[in-house]
Amino acid sequence: METLIHNLFYRHFGNEILLRSEDAAVLDVQGKIAFTTDSYTVTPLFFNGGDIGRIAVAGTLNDLAMMGAKPLYLSCAFMLEEGLSYETLERIVISMKEELSQSGAKIVCGDTKVLPRGSVDQIFINTSGIGEVITEGISSHNLQAEDVILVSRDIGAHGATILASREGIELESSLCSDCAVLWPAVKALIDEKIAIHAMRDATRGGIAAVLNEWAMASDVCIEIKEEMIPISDEVRGICELLGMEPYDFANEGTFVLAVAPQDALRAQEILRRFEISTNAQVIGNVTVQKPGRVILHSPWGTARYLERPKGELLPRIC
Amino acid sequence: MSLQLKDLYDGFRDGSTIKALARTIKEESEKLSDPLRIMEVCGGHTHTIMKYGLKQLLPPSIEFIHGPGCPVCIMPKERIDHAISLARMKDTILLTLGDMIRVPGSSSSLVQERSRGCDIRPLYSPMDALKIARENPTKKVIFFAIGFETTTPMSAAVILQADHEGLQNLFFHINHVLVPQPVHAIMNDPQNRINAFIGPSHVSVISGSKIYDSIAEAYGTPIVVSGFEPVDVMEGILKIVVQKNENRSEVEVQYSRAVTHEGNLKAQKMIDQTMRVRDTFRWRGLGDIADSALKLRDEFSHFDAENVFAEFLSYEPIDDHKLCICGSILRGIAKPNDCTVFGTACTPNSPLGSCMVSSEGSCNAYYRFGGTH
């Protein structure tokens, strides 16, 4: 275990605070901080566009960014199944290091447990993170009538990639997870004084979950124009084959934001400067029509509620 | 340039085409002498109608009655219990399709059994059953096969291949059902109010449009075999309205891009090689219907889970929860929102009845895509 910690974790994550090897990291933090935690498990561990390590870092960094907080420090705990190869673990750790470098945040404390075969599916990772709140008031309770809703890029790429790479669906496609660190794009929005009312990365449950949570939390109606939502042909194709909806698919580097109407187009333009959000798009707005509900408008003038996804996504039978 | 998947559906979701069809239907329907009560037999069509909001585009003189064509919804509880009993057997892998795993049986569901440690796997393709059986020679691998004529040829292909390979550990619990007989059963119910049908295109890709000839003739109802995209369904409705106005009651094919009168003869032959019609099958909500389902032929009885594991299976009928009106919904005499527990005690997360479970069920479609008006 000592070798593992020194040769692997210290080597790749090394920084002054971590290398002191104290019982707890002592941090110098000023002002308000945001604090979050998440545990990560994904099958397969490696997929087109990412791996569990990348998600474990990006996911927690993104949760901080979504609160307008600059990511500073992370903890990292590994639960490893006995027999997991060193090479696999190293590949994951290197991914984590690369992902960290996108934001400047550091891993300052950690833990590793090796568990008997069968009690963990290869590897579980937990990361917690704290960040310095740069701009206050971003909240899912803060949506206001006439706010404009944007999505940072085409949706569902991660969910579709995972689905396509799982055993059972043998598909050749150019699908690639959207896994990415969002802080640089968020920082640009904050620096340019965009009035962000709410912001959330559309992870599990996709944009359907985020929009519904917002509509409920702020007691507003969110009306979306279906044809405005960017969706790649590949993601749409998977949905067509399996009878699923891209709105329900998980994302790992796509976020939804609600901004004051006068800032909407500027926010779209700022986001489009970043590689992770070149096709950012205004998709709808907040109204008082049906508080607590999300309404999807079709190009032929019909409307329906967008519900949050229920349980496991299963393919249609015929 | 190669054909892209989207080329297959893009035009059939075109907003201006849908609007134009809606206008024509509205004009034509002004000439109708009676209101139209169209049964869309298949749950896939219910899904299209709700998801794309097509009802909102149609005049009040056109009503939809949602039919029994959802293979998950019509499965009686005792047969779901079969799947559970089989899954609980030692050294067994139970395979099935889609949201069958969520449907509650008398006291449990496959999802619950899976969380208790049973090896239950939803398949993306029935052909995967072969691979799983080959990879697990010490396990009994049981494919709980469900579906209408559409999915039956796939099961037949798996059976023929398993036979060819001499697989000893793959078994089949066949629940394949047929479209025409339940339609007859519904039409013979004195409470029925149906005066036209939309038939599912995928069933007729296999079985041809010929399976509806006897229905159009017996009940004087137009039947239009339609595709599942919104433009397909709207065009199908228009064809029905025109037939009514011209006083015709014919089987017509809207989905002419793949449906013929005779259907796919090769697929029909494979089904015929492996399966025969059951004397009777109990449909959830509709009761026993003669000649309405298939079972394995005797020469494949060594593959037949109902035969090999007969000691574990009971055929005692189990009725639905007394508040659930899935039966009336499947017979087309009630709508999901007529149910007192719809959306309250019965939701997709905790369904009381099967119509709420399956994404092809009408309660589920109403819950997920309920109109905003």
Which residues of chain B make contact with A243, given a CB cutoff of 8 A? 359
Whether residue A1 has pLDDT greater than 90 = no
Any B CB within 8 A of A316 CB:
yes
Cβ atoms A62, A182 nearer than 8 A: yes
SS (H, E, C) chain B: CCCCHHHHCHHHHCHHHHHHHHHHHHHHHCCCCCCEEEEEEEHHHHHHHHHCCHHHHCCCCEEEEEEEECCCCCCCHHHHHHHHHHHHCCCEEEEEEHHHHHCCCCCCCHHHHHHCCCEEEEECCCCHHHHHHHHCCCCEEEEEEEECCCCHHHHHHHHHHHHHHCCCCEEEEEEEECCHHHHHHHHCCCCCCCCEEEEEHHHHHHHCHHHHHHHHHHHCCCEEEECCCHHHHHHHHHHHHHHHHCCCCCEEECCCCCCCCCCCHHHHHHHHHHEEECCEEEECCCEEEECCEEEECHHHHHHEHHHHCHHHCCCCCCCCCCCCCHHHHHCCCCCHHHCCCECCCECCCCCCCHHHHCCCCHHHHHHHHCECC
Any idea what DSSP says for residue A307?
P
The two three-digit tokens of residue A86, written as one number: 């060193």
Q: Structural domain boundaries of chain A?
A: 2-133, 148-305
For residue range A181-218, list pLDDT tens digits in order: 999 999 999 999 999 999 999 999 999 999 999 999 99
Burial label for B5, CB within 10 Å (0-12, 13-18, 19+), is middle
Q: CATH 3.40.50.11740 residue ranges in chain B? A: 77-177+263-312
Any idea what DSSP says for residue A292?
T
pLDDT band for A317, please (50, 70, 90 cuts).
Answer: low
pLDDT band for A261, please (50, 70, 90 cuts).
Answer: very high
CA angle B360, B362, B364 (to 5 degrees): 75
The two three-digit tokens of residue B279, written as one number: 């004397």
* pLDDT number for residue A169: 63
Identify the CA nearest to B212 among candidates B225, B194, B193: B225
Find, in chain A, the residue whose alpha carbon is nearest to that of B125.
A168
Whether residue B146 and residue A237 make contact (CB cut-off 8 A), yes or no, is no
Any B CB within 8 A of A118 CB:
no
Whether residue A314 and residue B98 make contact (CB cut-off 8 A), yes or no, is yes
Any B CB within 8 A of A298 CB:
yes
* pLDDT number for residue A287: 98
Which residues of chain B make contact with A302, given a CB cutoff of 8 A? 52-54, 56-57
Mutate to test the interface with B, among A167, A171, A300, A304 (most CBs of B within 10 A): A300
Give the architecture (CATH level 2) of A148-305.
Answer: Alpha-Beta Complex (3.90)
* One-letter identity of residue B185: A
* pLDDT number for residue B372: 64
* pLDDT number for residue A55: 96
Whether residue A168 has pLDDT greater than 70 = no
Any A CB within 8 A of B19 CB:
yes
Whether residue B54 and residue A302 make contact (CB cut-off 8 A), yes or no, is yes
Which residues of chain A make contact with B18, given a CB cutoff of 8 A? 300
- Encode chain B (373 residues) as per-residue pLDDT tens digits: 577 777 777 889 999 999 999 999 999 999 999 999 999 999 999 999 999 999 999 999 999 999 888 898 899 999 999 999 999 999 999 999 988 898 889 999 999 999 999 999 999 889 999 999 999 999 999 999 999 999 999 999 999 999 999 999 999 999 999 999 999 999 999 989 999 999 999 999 999 999 999 999 999 999 999 999 999 999 999 999 999 999 999 999 999 999 999 999 999 999 999 999 999 999 988 899 999 999 999 999 999 999 999 999 999 999 888 899 988 887 778 899 999 999 899 988 788 887 888 878 899 888 888 766 5
Residues in a beta bridge with A76:
A110, A127
Find, in chain A, the residue whose alpha carbon is nearest to that of B358.
A316
CATH number for domain A2-133, candidates 3.40.50.300, 3.30.1330.10, 3.40.50.720, 3.40.50.150: 3.30.1330.10
Cβ atoms A22, A108 nearer than 8 A: no
For residue range A241-253, list pLDDT tens digits in order: 888 899 999 999 9
* pLDDT number for residue B110: 95
SS3 assignment, position A69: strand
E strand residue ranges, A152-290: 196-201, 221-225, 255-259, 281-287
Residues in a beta bridge with A258:
A149, A198
* Cα distances (Å, whole numbers) of residue B344 to A302, B107, B337, B349: 26, 20, 11, 11
**Distance (Å, whole) CA A5 – CA B315:** 60
Mutate to test the interface with A, among B3, B4, B5 (most CBs of A within 10 A): B5
Whether residue A236 and residue B151 make contact (CB cut-off 8 A), yes or no, is no
CATH number for domain B77-177+263-312, candidates 3.40.470.10, 3.40.50.11740, 3.40.50.300, 3.40.30.10: 3.40.50.11740
Of A165-169, A175-179, B150-154, minimum mean pLDDT range = A165-169
Cβ atoms A223, A143 nearer than 8 A: no
Average pLDDT over chain A, rounded to an integer? 93
User: Omega of the bond prior to A44 within 30 degrees of 0, cis?
Assistant: yes
Which among B6, B9, B151 has CB closest to A318? B151
Residues in a beta bridge with A71:
A131
For residue range A73-111, list pLDDT tens digits in order: 999 999 999 999 999 999 999 999 999 998 999 999 999
SS (H, E, C) A119-168: CCCCEEEEEEEEEEECCCCCCCCCCCCCCEEEECCCCCHHHHHHHHHCCC
CB atoms within 10 A of CB B223: 29
SS3 assignment, position A5: helix
SS3 assignment, position A213: helix
Cβ atoms A235, A155 nearer than 8 A: yes
Distance from CA of A282 to the nearest CA of B (A): 20
**Distance (Å, whole) CA A52 – CA B94:** 30
Any idea what DSSP says for residue A31?
S
Burial label for B198, CB within 10 Å (0-12, 13-18, 19+), is buried
**Distance (Å, whole) CA A23 – CA A214:** 39
Whether residue A298 and residue B53 make contact (CB cut-off 8 A), yes or no, is yes
Identify the CA nearest to B161 among candidates B124, B138, B137, B127: B127
Average pLDDT over residues A129-140: 96
Burial label for B178, CB within 10 Å (0-12, 13-18, 19+), is buried
Pair type for strands B280-283 and B223-226: unpaired
- Supply the pTM of this predicted model: 0.88
Whether residue A317 and residue B98 make contact (CB cut-off 8 A), yes or no, is yes
**Distance (Å, whole) CA B369 – CA B373:** 12
Chain A from 127 to 186: CB within 8 A of any B CB: 168-169
